[in-house]
Every structure is written in structure tokens, then in C-alpha cells.
Structure 1
Amino acid sequence: MTTARAVPIVFVHGTRFSAGQWSVQLTALRDEFPVVAVDLPGHGALSARPWSLSGATEVIARAVDSLDCGPALVVGHSLGGYASLEFARCHPERLRGLVLAGASASTRGAWAAPYRWVAGLVPRVPADRLARWNDRLLRRLYPPEVVEATIRSGYAFHTVPAAWGEVLGRFDAGAMGSVKAPVLILNGEKDTVFRSGEADFARAHPRARVELVPRAGHLANFDAPDAFTDAVRRFARQLSAVG
């Protein structure tokens, strides 16, 4: 049962996914915390809505307000992590804490080049083929209880060029200067690409720390759902304790 002091938690999904990415975390945490997961513009239930970073921040803001418990802990993965950084800049009064998962790499400079190439390539492959590939991959790698909600919600391949086109070139460790709340940088131990800047991101914020999910990759909440959830739970409890 949630308590009056429990910090509300908003989960923000990564590239091509939807709120279904967080089904395991929502189930595990909802008895202790008010929780919700969002669909970003162009994804899930908002598939027909054009992507924009400003629109993403407003989706997160409305989710925080919907819980009606004051400022929230926002947990953002990959694309959702960068959208959460923008939310922190635009709506600091709504943020109690931030978890950046797989989103502590600079999106500027040479690092961005291969991702621009991939974002440009995606529209050239039929979406139904990409969906079948993703379904097979997820079912091969993970148990049904971890990924079936994601598979049922479908994929937003049509949004990838616009989403990463706006994120690439925009974020580096300097973005942490706009975050006024405590930050947990939560990365999969094997996610060498998206944790490449974690030390710089942590140094750029006086109340940031890094925690690694052992043996997990970029999809850490799929690779090690219990460990990922436990890390979020501990951080949320710390925020709740300080009020």
C-alpha cells in the first residue's frame, strides 16, 4: 500500500518502444509508490501524434500531474532519458529525482554519426519486417512476462528519424547543469556505448551517482529486471525519506 510520503514515479520508455517497456517495474512497485508509464509522441497510444522534444516534456509533465502527489521521480531510458533531461530543464518544479538509464553518452560530435546513419536507414525497411525482427529477437532473449507487453504495444519505427534527429547534437554532460534534483545514473554494466559518458555526467552534477546493473546491456530493465527495479526502489525510498 502506498503511503503519503511515497515519491510518485513516472517511467519514460526508450527508442521505438512504449509504456509497455515498464510492465515488470510497474507491477513490482505499484504497491509502494504511485507509478505510471507514458507513451511519448509518435509511440504507443500516441502513435499518430508527431514527435517533438517539447511535446515529450509535456507528456511527462501531464503524467506527473496525473499522479497528484507533487514532484515525481522520473525514470527515463535511452531516448526517454534524454527527453527526461529536457523535462528537468523545462519543469524543475515537477522533478523530485531523475534516473538516467542508458542515457549518459553525449549525443554530440563524432559519436552521433552512426546513429544518424541508422535513423536514416530505418524508413527504408518495411515496418512490418522490422516488427517481426524485433518480436523474434525479444522472444529469443527474454521470458514472456518481461517483453509481451512491449510486443503487444507495437513499435514506433516511423518516429525514429524525427526523434533521434532532434536528440542528436543536443545533449552532453552540460545538460546536467539544468537538473536541480538528485540523479541516479543507472546503466547496464555491458552497455559500453550509452555509459561512455557516465563519469562526465556524474561529475557535472553535485548530487549524482552511478550504479551499474551487473551483466546487463542497454536494455537493462529487460536483461536484469529485478536488479533494475531494486535500484529504482532504493533511490525512490531515499527520496521519500528526505521528504
Structure 2
Amino acid sequence: MTAVEGQPIVFVHGTRFSAGQWSPQLAALREEFPVAAVDLPGHGSRSTEAWSLKAAAEVIADAVDALGCGPALVVGHSLGGYASLEFARVRPELLRGLVLAGASASTRGAWAVPYRWVAGLVPRLPADRLAGWNDTLLRRLYPAGVVEATIRSGYAFHTLPAAWGEVLGRFDAGAMRHVAAPVLILNGEKDRVFRSGEAAFARAHPHARVELIPRAGHLANFDDPVAFSDAVRRFARQLGNSA
């Protein structure tokens, strides 16, 4: 099967990152599938654009259309996972399947309190200091080939308050009822916070299953790029075989 014939895949990055987050997955999958990674509003190449979930869903839809080969498998991490749930709700005709990575926790209730605190704190800290801390942490934890594209693309700290301000209080397992396509809930085994609702999210959808990346945390696609890419590959092939 050539990339032109394979299931198209669109990747949606997490908080503060950009399309560069997905460089390991794009490299691993592009020979078999048409692939693309987006910059959400307020991030990366769209850093001057205002954030909204509506605009984020439009960006994902544009990426699916640009691949030009039918409904896509959308892979969303963290913030990108919640944006992908919104996309699934408003543009179901463009969705062939959904991978929720690090995005199976309710954003309602007490869970949201510390994240509201962080969203309020970030604008008070110098962006260059935050970027330096992030660069140092990523380089300490991961090989250069995994994170350099993310580091080069910079960070969208200025968008974090608006993005999480809209997401917090909005999503729980009930959001799965708006997803018409099959769902893979793909989490790092050690991502205890964002795994907290995975069972409820899976129960809320008739065609959802959970898969864990062993020993991985919230950034599972960095912790084990090969295992993460393989999980996406298997799911994409299943979707293609059932089309």
C-alpha cells in the first residue's frame, strides 16, 4: 500500500507546543499514509491568531481537506485531544477515526482547579524564562531527534490561559457521544492525571478501546516514539480495512 492509498492522518499537538511535536510520528508513518500535523490557533505558525475551539476545529478541517483523500484519522494529544473532540462534534463527516492521547480526563469539577491556577500563573512569568526551562527539560529527558523540532518551533505560553480557560469545565466522558467514528484512547501508562477518566470515556462510546504505552507518561509520543507510532499505524490499518 502506498501513502496515497493509505488512511489519511492528521496530528493535533498539545498545550504550548506546535506541529513539531509530531516529527517522530510523521517520519515513521509518511511512507504508508498521507500525513499532516497542524498548528492550532495561537501556536507555531499561527501564533498571532486568536485561540478558540471553533477556530481549532476549522484548522483541523482545513488539514483534512488539504490531504484530499477523504475522511481522516485525527490524532490529538492533551489540548489537541480536546480540540479534536470538538472537531468530531462539529465536522463528523470529515472524521474516519479518533485517537485521544493524554486527553481522557474530565475537565470539569475539582480536577480543573490546579490547571486554572497554572493558567493564571503563566502570564506572570517571563516567556523567555519559561522557554528556557522547557528547552532544558526536553533536552534532558529525550533524544535530540525526538524533541528538536518542537524546540525550534517555540512555545505558545501566551495562548495557554485562553486555551485552557475554554477547555476547562467543558469536557467529560459525555463528549464521546458526539463522536461517530471509532476511537482509540492511547495513553502513557504512567500518565495518572490524564488517564483518570479513560474507563468512563471508553464506556461512553460503543466503538472505543484503550491502549497503554508501557512506562510512558503524558508525553507518550516522546517517551516511546516507536510504540506510539506503531499503535497509530495499527489503528489506521484497521480503519482502512473496514472502510
**TM-score bin (small chain):** over 0.9
Q: Deviations over 1:17-63 (max 9, x none)?
A: 00000000000100000000000000000000010100000000000
Distance across 2 between alignment mates of 1:55 and 1:150: 22
Counterpart residue type for residue 38 of structure 1: V
Q: Counterpart in 2 of 1:197?
A: 197
Distance across 2 between alignment mates of 1:103 and 1:3: 28
Distance across 1 between alignment mates of 2:181 and 2:126: 42
Counterpart residue type for residue 29 of structure 1: L
| TM-score, length basis structure 1 | 0.99
Distance across 2 between alignment mates of 1:120 and 1:216: 28
8 A Cα contact 1:2 1:30, kept in partner: no
Shift of 1:4: 5.2
Q: Counterpart in 2 of 1:125?
A: 125
2:103 match: secondary structure: coil
Shift of 1:137: 0.2
Q: Counterpart in 1 of 2:150?
A: 150
| TM-score, length basis structure 2 | 0.99
8 A Cα contact 1:13 1:21, kept in partner: yes
Distance across 2 between alignment mates of 1:195 and 1:64: 27
Q: Counterpart in 1 of 2:108?
A: 108
Moved over 4 A (4+): none
Distance across 1 between alignment mates of 2:241 and 2:5: 8
8 A Cα contact 1:14 1:80, kept in partner: yes
Q: What aligned pairs does 1:169-188 form with structure 2 within 5 A after superposition? A: 169-188=169-188
Q: Counterpart in 1 of 2:57?
A: 57
**Residues 114/5 of structure 1: CA separation in 2 closer, same or farther (3 Å cut):** same
Q: Which consecutive unaligned segments of at least 5 residues does structure 1 have?
A: none
Q: Counterpart in 2 of 1:77?
A: 77
Tell me how many residue pairs correspond in the alignment.
243
Q: Which consecutive unaligned segments of at least 5 residues does structure 2 have?
A: none
Q: Counterpart in 2 of 1:165?
A: 165
Q: Counterpart in 2 of 1:220?
A: 220
Q: CA RMSD in A?
A: 0.7
